[in-house]
Amino acid sequence: MMEKTRKHLLCLAILTSLSATISIPAQAQLHLEIVKAAEEAPKIAIIPFANDSSLYPIIENDLNRSGKFSSASQNLPATASMNNPNAAAWQSAGVPYVVTGTTKKNAEGAYEIHYQLYDVQKQQYLLNELLTVPASRMRAAGHMISDTIYEALTGIKGDFSGRIAYVLRNPATPNERYTLQIADTDGAQPRTVLTSRDPILSPAWTPDAKKIAYVSFETKRPAIYVQDLATGQREKLASFRGLNGAPSFSPDGQSMLFTASMHGNPEIYQMNLQTRELKRMTNDSAIDTEARYAPDGKSFIFTSDRGGSAQIYTYNLDTGSTKRLTFRGAFNARGTLSADGKKLALVHRPSGSNYKVAIQDLNSSITNILTPTSLDESPSFSPNGQMVVYATREGARGLLAIMSLDGRFRMNLPSETGEVREPAWAPK
């Protein structure tokens, strides 16, 4: 057997940040509906893993929903096994990549997963890896394998093992009408963070993805809380007179931007999270809100109607100067930046049209409408910048949708038990 290139040890300590959020029984899982699949995407064959039937469907679904590949495990045109890729047969079938794997239980009760990724054209293994995982983390292992395969083939880190926070609204349960939840990016394994009969808004992750902030109306006025996902402990960060909303954490986790109207008009404030010291960042007769730090921490974007309509501006933290970023359309708001700081996702309303999610290149200022749906809101980039999750409506359904930035792939994530809103993709 060829030498294994790397060994990974997955243990509960690495992955407990997700499982520890089970303080309240989980709600119904979001369904995954492929609405638009990428055409003519490179084929990749996922051979069912020996001694296991749970891993390969996860890997297959992940790669299919990336929009970059067309994967299959059924009705395969050829066979393959560990260390025996059968390259000539796959070459004839026009399949450039083959994944094989096997699992076995070790003496400690954990599972050893050995998998290989073979490049048919180059006739060489791109991956030959061993993972050791506890039995309870097999699904997480499947997503991590998908991440590794995706990066090996694209050079871009995969986001399949990530998480999305969202708010579920269910009018049928008055005492738990609003639920803040966290789920895998395919909608599986939902975990409840908070339930309330009053609105929950604007979930925002800390940079280490260990805590999440949100706006709650549980005291009948908006207040910002932050909650530790491992312990369930939470603290109130902002409960000033008037409005408290739209939290955003700095890349170093030391400060938080938020909107407050303690002095009458909605303005952007910055809070030092160690000292709780406040600094007023904007002072304008217009409404300033929805601030989001840039990835380098040197500036932030925000929404303001100081120009007569809702538009997105940037604020330089060194100079205190502001600059308008959006000019196209009658309305631009809810801006968020990609992790590399090069792209801006926003809610955009062209003149005479409904609200869409658009992507603006910050170097060229070119803006392209991304979504074919309408009444879209709350866009959030995946950490690798290849996908955007947003809330939309289809008929009577309020649901989440995930779309690739090239427009080649889209999937829906509806819920059986209510409307899904306010998505936020966790950082990595």
SS3 letters for the chain? CCCCCEEEECCHHHHHHHHCCCCECCCCCCCCEEEECCCCCCEEEECCCECCCCHHHHHHHHHHHCCCCEEECCCCCCCCECCECCHHHHHHHCCCEEEEEEEEECCCCCEEEEEEEEECCCCEEEEEEEEEECHHHHHHHHHHHHHHHHHHHHCCCCCCCCEEEEEEECCCCHHHCEEEEEEECCCCCCEEEEEECCCEEEEEECCCCCEEEEEECCCCCCEEEEEECCCCCEEEEECCCCCEEEEEECCCCCEEEEEECCCCCCEEEEEECCCCCEEECCCCCCCEEEEEECCCCCEEEEEECCCCCCEEEEEECCCCCEEECCCCCCEEEEEEECCCCCEEEEEEECCCCCCEEEEEECCCCCEEECCCCCCCEEEEECCCCCEEEEEEEECCEEEEEEEECCCCCEEEECECCEEEEEEEECCC
Instruction: Give the model's pLDDT for residue 4.
Output: 41
Instruction: Give the model's pLDDT for residue 27.
Output: 53
Instruction: Give the model's pLDDT for residue 28.
Output: 64
Assigned CATH for 32-154? 3.40.50.10070
Domain range summary for the chain, segments of one domain joined by +: 32-154, 163-425
The reported pTM is 0.90
Residues of the chain with pLDDT under 50: 1-26
Class of 163-425 in CATH = mainly beta
